Amino acid sequence: MLQESFPKFGVFEENLSVDEMIVHYYGHNTLKQFMRGKPIQFGYKFWTLCGVSGYCYNFDLYYGKGPGNEENSDSLLGSRMVLNMLSVVDNPISYNVYFNNLFTDYALLVHLRILGFNATGTMRENRISKCPLEESNAMKIRTERNI
């Protein structure tokens, strides 16, 4: 019922974020996750699509590798989650999507551009797919000089 209620009035914010969150829970349940080093270490892990106001438009409970996660198994879990979360957006051209390096890879950014989304994400070095970027050491040196 919640997944139907959240996007009922449409996605009314231009800037959206795809991220993970954990809902605090200490009881016994097989879906409970443990995330070391996080403020809330035990609970249920959710993938979420939220606006800058914090309003949640879409969410999905993370339940590990299961039958629902095997479709499109050639793409990364993060990429599949971003596309799943953005399924509630009707007109992609008017939205900016932000996410962290858990979700970002070159193929996802290209796919989102084809769909019409403006997407921004931090990128891990092993996912740049031969993009013509400077070496990370050269960028570090330039950043240190500017500081």
**CATH number of the domain that 140 lies in?**
3.30.420
Query: Residue 33 belongs to what domain range?
Result: 2-146
Contact partners, residue 46, CB within 8 Å, separation at least 6: 20, 21, 22, 23, 59, 60, 61, 62
Number of structural domains the chain divides into: 1
pLDDT in tens, the chain (147 residues): 877 777 777 788 899 999 988 888 888 888 888 878 888 888 988 899 999 998 889 998 887 765 554 444 456 788 888 999 999 888 898 899 999 988 888 888 899 999 999 999 888 877 777 777 777 778 777 777 776
- Please report, as a single letter, which amino acid is at residue 142: R
- The pairing of beta strand 42-51 with beta strand 96-99: unpaired
d(CA 111, CA 56) in angstroms, rounded, equals 23
Three-state DSSP class for residue 126: helix
